[in-house]
Chain A
Amino acid sequence: GQNIDQPTEMTATEGAIVQINCTYQTSGFNGLFWYQQHAGEAPTFLSYNVLDGLEEKGRFSSFLSRSKGYSYLLLKELQMKDSASYLCAVRDGETGANNLFFGTGTRLTVIP
Chain B
Amino acid sequence: EPEVTQTPSHQVTQMGQEVILRCVPISNHLYFYWYRQILGQKVEFLVSFYNNEISEKSEIFDDQFSVERPDGSNFTLKIRSTKLEDSAMYFCASRNNEQFFGPGTRLTVL
Contact = CB atoms under 8 A, between A and B. Distances in A.
B41 interface: yes
Interface residues of B, number: 25
B106 to A, nearest CB: 8
A95 B91 contact: no
Contact of B99 (A37, A95, A96, A100): A100
Interface stretch (A15-23, A40-48, A68-76): A40-48
B42 A95 contact: no
A104 interface: yes
Contacts of B103: 41-42
Contact residues of B: prevailing secondary structure: strand
Contacts of A44: 101
B65 interface: no
Contact of A99 (B56, B91, B100, B104): B56
Interface string A24-61: 00000000010101001111110010000000000000
B18 interface: no
A102 B44 contact: yes
B31 A103 contact: no
Interface residues of A, number: 23
The winner among A99, A100, A104 for most chain B CB atoms within 10 A is A99
B33 A99 contact: yes
Given A43-B91, A44-B101, A96 B44 contact: no
B42 A97 contact: no
30 contacts: A33-B99, A35-B101, A37-B43, A41-B104, A42-B91, A42-B101, A42-B103, A42-B104, A43-B43, A43-B91, A43-B101, A45-B98, A45-B99, A45-B100, A48-B98, A87-B42, A95-B48, A96-B50, A97-B33, A97-B49, A99-B33, A99-B56, A100-B35, A100-B93, A101-B45, A102-B42, A102-B44, A103-B42, A104-B42, A105-B43
**4 smallest A-B Cβ distances: which pairs?**
A97-B48, A97-B55, A42-B101, A102-B43
